[in-house]
Structure 1
Amino acid sequence: MTGNSDTSQNKFITYGDESYSTRAWAKRRGMPHMTLVSRLKRGWSVGEALGFEERPLKPSEQEMDPMQEALRWIQDECTRTKNEHDRLRKERDSAMSALQSIAEIVQGVIAKR
């Protein structure tokens, strides 16, 4: 055989009754070789790595129950409301400072008359 498609450097894996090198499997499944290798290194089953079996979702990717979803929404709204409140407070403080400066200028002009 030519090339390195089935050399001893390649790991052979079996799914069902078929056994091929990781390079051959990747080519057969239409995926980059390193994708397959990294999936296996991360502990995916052979079927998951090859795309024959569905990979279970991580807890963060799973659907939340309605109570968790409601709590998450409330937390997000509280954070959004606090951020909006902080922004408005800064705008108010800036406006008050500008008004105070204008009042001081006006008082100075009046005092000079």
Structure 2
Amino acid sequence: MALLGSVFSEPARRDRAVAVWGVLASTGATLGTVLSGVVVTWVSWRWLFAVPAVIAVVAAWAAPRLMPPDAPSERSGIDGSPVRPRWLSPGRGQPWFSPAPKTTPSPGR
């Protein structure tokens, strides 16, 4: 879902891609539940691990062929900075392992 905005820049194509994604997500959730029950009932629970492996191989094969080659290589966050959690970067001018601030105990404790 996060790639749809950068892959489909035209609003009409992006709307269609979001609609297709929604249909496939809900269909996959429904069919996955039903088919996993069928596989467990008729074959074995161990076969449940084979289905995602096949899907992963097909997706890994199809992704380079279906993705446009000119997709942006550097993503940026809302504020224009590279995407990274704020808690991962140190504060301004603060080293990574700065000592904790010293506090004095309050009177009576």
TM-score computed with the length of structure 1 as normaliser = 0.27
Q: Give the structure with the higher percent helix.
A: 1
Larger radius of gyration: 1
